Structure 1
Amino acid sequence: MNCYLKIISPNKAKNDIDELMERDGFRNLSVHIGSKGKVSVFFSKLFSVIRLPFVLHKDDVLLIQYPFKKYYTALCRIAHMKNASTVTLIHDLGTFRRHKLTADQEIERLSHTDSIIVHNGAMKDWLKEHGCKVRMCELGIFDYLSSSSPLHRHFGHNPRRIVYAGALGLRKNAFLYDLDKCLDGCVLDIFGRGLDENIASKWHNIHYHGYLESDKFIETVDGDWGLVWDGDSIDACSGNWGEYLRINNPHKTSFYICAGLPVIIWNQSAMSKFIVENKLGICVSSLSELSEALNHVSKEEYDEICASVEAFRKKLVDGYFFREAFADACSCMAKRN
């Protein structure tokens, strides 16, 4: 039987996977303790691991959402001790995200699982290059569960409206503070927390709208494009956060698509090929190219992109990509056996 451990988390992507597994009849093997506080979550994880040998059965498949921090290796070992299998779905790699692990440590940890669901081909290649020999399959894009419906998009806004949602502080997204001068014929509507409003007060083409809950954003945001960009520079996604886009599928991409927004993304990002091949948006090498790139998008092209975005939105809110990737992972294990 398919199984999982439901651990309370503020992470939307992890919670969506939990909900999809619950919908699909996976058996939840976790122990729930008290509230959502850190202490309760710690003991919930600990007691879930201690209890696992008594509730996991032979031939079960345990899906582990990674990182699971200090208990990950223990989960894999317990599963194998019970003649069960593990599928690991990667959300973040510690080597990149918080630099808590070296590449060798990450690979050693992941070597304990039977199959891995990676974000994309670039992440698979990075893991292989660093010695990972576990069978891997690709997610493609994160699903995004929501019952909210977006506004209809139409071509012809003047100026064109670009939307950016996320962390607005200098530490993660210093590029925002140099972007105003590049927005010729465009405006950028930004949503989130952490903005330095003293600097922002001098902007002419960037408008701050505060923080919106995700469902409210999906229902009300009025724009033509959603911008996926991180890092220090308008010329490339640089710095630790920006470089991570070379192998990572940012959840923000799914968020924009769920809101009906075509995507603008860095052409060196791991998701750029997926976006272009599926006609979900456009790629640029630098944000200084924004105006020129958008000028080259005709009404027919924009309408085609919007139609593709709507088709993908329906898949994302239904959990299509997780289900496909999990089925692939199980198939890989069956072939190996």
Structure 2
Amino acid sequence: MKCYLSRNYKGVSSSGYKAKTDMEDLMAGWGFRNIGLKRTFYPHVIVSFVLTLFGVLKALVCLRKGDILFLQYPLKKYFSFICNVAHFKGCKIVILIHDLGSFRRKKLSVSQEIKRLEHADYIIATNPAMQQWIKDRHCQMPVGHLGVWDYLSVARPDAHKELPSPPYQIVYAGALSRRKNAFLYSWGEKIEGYSVNLYGSGFFLEEAKGREHFRIKGFVQSDTLIESVEGDFGLVWDGDSVETCCGDFGEYLQFNTPHKTSLYIRCGLPVIIWERAALAPFVQSNRLGLCIGKLEDLNRLLLSITVEEYREMRNNVLRMSDRISKGFYFKQAAEKAIAFLQTTNQ
């Protein structure tokens, strides 16, 4: 039996929780059995702790020999304990990585991270770059990859939206705190011939250079954003600088799969991404947008785009939007993991 462990989430507005709840919904739809408690959304710390504990205990009691248990990593509490008990009961573990603590958060050393990952029987990294990073650190377990996050929503972008022309509007969505997005405060002075629509909270317009180029749209629920986004491209960029993606958050783009990339695709927006990001090859090979070295490149690139080029990018994005709305990439990765474990178990 294929199974998974649901849990309590302290909120559903963050992209991190959205990715995890989407994966749970996909597994439930494929007939996987939730061996934990029913998913809840209580914000209280003590209530959340108790629900997590009882969910883990219930899961371990319900596990049966031969089960394949999918865990979403990191599971902040009880990860090693769950894996050890599952193996003792004759089960296999597949982990789907959402985040690596040894990168931006620095909560684990690289060797500690690899040791934790080796509790699994099969690892699904989020993209080929992360997959290779894990292999290069001599992880002993088999490693596959996802590709890009699937993104569930009943909402649909307007497929018949009129094709835009310069000046274009670029969308930047997410948590807009200075800690992760310091580049926003200097970006404005580099902008020529386009504007930026900011969706989210935490940005202080009065402190930004070139603030006349920004439009503050505030926080918008993802379903609403998919149907009503105002913009022509979605930007994936993190860190301190407009010259490159640097700092802990910026450099992490070389291995991470930002969930906002999938949100932009679901919105029907061609993607603009740092050329050294882990997802740049995905955007490039599927012709989903533009890969840039620095934000100043946009002044030239946006003016050079023809109507036909934009139409092709948007059509490709709409096809990809349909694909990730159905769980294509997680299904593909999960099937490979299951097939591997069933083959090696014979």
Same fold, judged at TM 0.5 (above): yes
Supply the AA of the counterpart residue of 1:158.
P
Superposed CA offset, 1:148-192 (max 9, x none)? 121344433331111101122211101011111222111111111
Question: Who is 2:14 aligned against?
Answer: none
Taking a change above 3 Å as real, the CA distance of residues 181 and 200 of structure 1, as seen in their structure-2 partners, is closer
TM norm structure 2: 0.93
Matched residue, 2:89: 82
Q: Which residue of 2 aligns with 1:178?
A: 186
Q: Could you list the per-position Cα deviations for residues 269-314 of structure 1 after superposition, in whole angstroms to 9, with x for gaps in the alignment? A: 0000000001111100000101212223222121111111111111
Aligned mates of 2:307, 2:118 — CA distance in 1: 49
> 1:267/1:201 Cα in 2 relative to 1: closer, same or farther (>3 Å)?
closer
- Structure 2 match to 1:49: 56
CA RMSD of aligned residues (A): 1.6
Which residue in the other structure is 1:252 paired with?
A: 260
Structure 1 Cα separation of the partners of residues 112 and 274 of structure 2: 29
Q: Secondary structure at the match of 2:77?
A: helix
Verify the 8 A CA contact 2:193 2:299 in the aligned structure 1: yes
Map 1:303-314 → 2, pairs under 5 A: 303-314=311-322
Query: When the two structures are superposed, what TM-score results if normalisation uses the length of structure 1?
Result: 0.96
Structure 1 segments unaligned to the other structure (5+ residues): none
Tell me how far apart the structure 2 counterparts of residues 239 and 299 of structure 1 sit (CA, whole Å): 36
Partner of 2:29: 23
Asked if 1:126 is matched to 2:126, the reply is no
Give the SS at the match of 1:331: helix
Q: How many residues align?
A: 337
Which stretch of structure 1 is more off in the superposition, 164-173 or 195-204?
A: 195-204
The answer on whether the counterparts of 1:33 and 1:40 sit within 8 Å (CA) in structure 2 is no
The equivalent residue for 1:109 is: 116
Deviations 1:61-95 (A, max 9, x none): 10000000131111111111111111100000011
- Closer, same or farther: CA 203–34 of 1 in aligned 2, 3 Å: closer
- Structure 1 stretch displaced more, 143-152 or 319-328: 143-152
Contact 2:70 2:93 in 1 (8 A): yes
Task: Give the letter aligned to residue 234 of structure 1.
Answer: V
Instruction: Give the match for residue 65 of structure 1.
Output: 72
Q: Does residue 1:332 correspond to 2:340, yes or no?
A: yes
Structure 1 CA distance, aligned partners of 2:292 and 2:39?
A: 47
Structure 2 residue runs without a partner (length 5+)? 12-16
Q: Could you tell me whether the CA contact under 8 Å between 2:169 and 2:195 is conserved in 1?
A: yes
Amino acid aligned to 1:66: Y
Contact 2:7 2:40 (C-alpha < 8 Å) held by counterparts: no
Deviation of residue 98 (structure 1)?
Answer: 1.7
Distance (Å, rounded) in 2 between the aligned partners of 1:65 and 1:24: 17
Q: Matches of residues 312-323 of structure 1 in structure 2 within 5 Å?
A: 312-323=320-331
Distance 1:34 1:85 in 2: 26
Alignment-derived partner of residue 150 in structure 2? 143
Tell me how far apart the structure 1 counterparts of residues 317 and 338 of structure 2 sit (CA, whole Å): 29
Structure 1 window deviating more from structure 2 (48-57 vs 86-95): it is: 48-57
Tell me which amino acid in the other structure corresponds to 1:120: N
Give the fraction of aligned pairs with identical amino acids, expressed as a percent: 42
Does structure 2 conserve the Cα–Cα contact (< 8 Å) formed by 1:33 and 1:44?
no
Q: Secondary structure at the match of 1:315?
A: helix
8 Å CA contact retained: 1:266, 1:286:
yes
Greater shift, 62-71 or 150-159, is seen at: 150-159
59-68 or 31-40, which deviates more: 31-40
